[in-house]
Amino acid sequence: MRLKRFRCGGWNGYVSEQFVNEVGVLLTADGEALPHGRGAAERISVGGGRFVRKVLRRGGVLGTVLGGVCGGPTRLLRPLRLLPRLQSAGVETAFPCIVAWRKRMLTFRLMTVTRFVEGCDLLETEEERAWINAARMASALSSAGLYHRDLHPRNIRVKEDGGVVLLDLEDLRRGGRMAAVLMWRRLGRFLIKHGHWERKERLWLLGGEVLGQDAAWQRRQLLLEAAAHLLI
């Protein structure tokens, strides 16, 4: 995917070559807020296509105070540098059509625009094949030396054919050999935290087995880790 630098309405960034003439519309078109995104993501329609436009926000305690205030465009640019690894690993992603930043005094406002992926979130399906494919995706990321620090079932889209698509590439980092297991545990903690564990435990354990982990050991480690996070 070839990207071109742009400036538009106070925004700087990169745009996929095929959307060079749509930058202004993609940045400003009216949108519909998407659920589960803390109000930062919205779906827009431009030129007959559907897209997701998202203002990046901080997570955790800082997020409640600083919200969409960021220190620089590094979160946006890092995935661009890691794209060759993703492609080599065969991981399908919702790669940004636009990554843009606007400077405000000493801080930045960051935005991405990606194509809307038809299908459903991993959380919304009971299909074993989809959960197995999600675990295989985590394994492929790890083998490519990558780690997604916010891998959870709402950041994985499931297509009609059962294939999975990784979202939120701004959370991608270089990772170590245990990255797949750590990402899968992160996904499990999400299930526990948001009350989905009882319904999804079997599917999560199925994914753990795909990663070559003993199911009972994986479950024990996850529950210990989840308990530690609740205490911190």
pLDDT, one tens digit per residue, over 114-163 is: 999 999 999 999 999 999 999 999 999 999 999 999 999 999 999 989 99
pLDDT recorded at residue 127: 96
Q: pTM score > 0.85 for this model?
A: yes
3-class SS of residue 217: helix
Other CB atoms within 10 Å distance of the CB of residue 13: 25
pLDDT recorded at residue 68: 55
Residues of the chain with pLDDT under 70: 1, 37-39, 58-71, 231-232
Question: How many whole angstroms separate alpha carbon 176 and alpha carbon 59?
Answer: 23
3-class SS of residue 160: coil
pLDDT recorded at residue 47: 86
pLDDT recorded at residue 70: 64
Q: Is 67 left (phi over 0), alpha (psi -120 to 50) or beta?
A: left
pLDDT recorded at residue 107: 84
* Pairing relationship of beta strands 98-104 and 146-148 according to DSSP bridges: unpaired
